[in-house]
Amino acid sequence: MLLCVEVNFLVKHSGLSDLYDKVAAGERISEADALRLFESKDLNAIGAIADLVRERKNDNRASYIINRYINYSNYCILSCQFCAFSKKKRDADGFQLSVEEIVQKAREALSVGITELHIVGGLHPSLPFSYYTDMLRALKALDARLQLKCFTAIEILHLAWLAKKSGRDTLIALKEAGLESLTGGGAEIFRKEIRSQIAKGKESAEEYLDVHRTWHQLGGRSTCTMLFGHIESVADRVQHLSLLRGLQDETHGFTGFVPLPYQPDNNEIDVKHPPTGFDSLRTIAISRIYLDNFDHITAYWVGMGLKTAQVALSYGADDLHGTIIEEHIFHMAGAKSPQLHTEAEMLKAIREAGRTPVQRNTFYEPIKVWADTPPADEPDHDSHSKILDENLATA
């Protein structure tokens, strides 16, 4: 009862009480409503509305996944202005992994209990289509229970070009080889004028959405993203969210939404004021309120740090993403977060936020719900540290 009084007080003095009432009644907010929220400086009131939605959808649970990132190569035929990851064959810091090297990384990660591999890379100029299907089959042969979340929409279009297949037939071939989920990367910002300035030559918004639409029609699931805090306006963010909400209305194929704070280093975009903690929290909160047909909103700790991601659990987020083990793309763009967080750190962060931790799989389905008090048989994560360090040494 006391909490309800505090929430009502916050909202009443924010000028947003009509939106709170709208959301409390289960009504959908409009683009104009979302813009009002972005224009408000009352972060706590926005968070209170978002937390109402979060609790309605996910009760008091917050999830994480034990996963590993693998980038098979950073060679790329594109030169997106915001990207610090892609390299040309002439660059000394370019890399390309063989299928055998990828399998070895997966084998090492399986020993610390991962359930998912998250695999993306640049648009490689010469690897054949068979490399990608061979990779998927080899990883599935390693452990059939291992869930493979791979490739962005632009990678799918590139692979279709390599295979001389339609996008649909390419996705069918990848699914038959073991692909279980598409990643959401590459969405950036959908507005054409902004997209052409930060990712010239990349797929259009329509192409991104169509790849995910086709995958959903084939029975597949995927996540989606938004890169925010560069040269876009808040109206551009709302338009982006609107297109994602529209496709979700159509296919119901997105499992979760992951807002990505822009990382300003080592790229060609001059951004004097990259995303602050305030901006990250309000963007997560407004996304939670607006995307009423999404079950899950992820606070991506790699981009915002675990402490801010932990706070985001009270601003609409219900997921902290994963242990990751090895991440290149954000760190090459200047992210100062660690390369990994252990499961124990995830559990601690979630419990401190007053949530019940849930280990999930790729599709946000629960694998294990942890009690509020750590059980006696909670794994000794210190014993994993040497293996994790060795995994990092293989990068």
The CATH number of the structural domain formed by 53-393 is 3.20.20.70
> Which two structure tokens, joined as six digits, stand for 39?
């224009």
| Domain boundaries defined on the chain | 53-393
pLDDT for res 231: 93
- Enter the DSSP assignment of 317: -
pLDDT in tens, 230-243: 999 999 999 999 99
Enumerate residues 6+ apart whose C-beta is below 8 A from 158: 77, 123
Q: Taking 90 as the threshold, does the pLDDT of residue 226 lie above it?
A: yes
Q: Taking 90 as the threshold, does the pLDDT of residue 84 lie above it?
A: no
Q: Are the CB atoms for 72 and 96 separated by under 8 Å?
A: yes
Distance CA 19, CA 23 (A): 6
pLDDT for res 351: 96
pLDDT in tens, 99-141: 999 999 999 999 888 999 999 998 888 899 999 999 999 999 9
Task: Calculate ∠ Cα 217-221-222, nearest 5°.
Answer: 120
Compute CA 331 distance to the chain's CA centroid, rounded to the nearest angstrom.
Answer: 15
Mean model confidence pLDDT for the chain: 86
Q: Taking 50 as the threshold, does the pLDDT of residue 154 lie above it?
A: yes
pLDDT for res 390: 32
pLDDT for res 302: 87
pLDDT for res 200: 81
Q: Taking 60 as the threshold, does the pLDDT of residue 388 lie above it?
A: no
Q: What is the pTM of this model?
A: 0.87
Distance CA 165, CA 2 (A): 60
Q: Are the CB atoms for 288 and 259 separated by under 8 Å?
A: no
Q: Are the CB atoms for 99 and 134 separated by under 8 Å?
A: yes
Q: Within 143-204, where are the H helices?
A: 153-163, 167-177, 192-198
Q: Taking 90 as the threshold, does the pLDDT of residue 387 lie above it?
A: no
Q: Are the CB atoms for 324 and 341 separated by under 8 Å?
A: yes
Enumerate residues 6+ apart whose C-beta is below 8 A from 375: none
pLDDT for res 79: 59
Q: Which candidate, 103, 173, 113, 104, places its Cα nearest to that of 138?
A: 103
Distance CA 188, CA 209 (A): 12
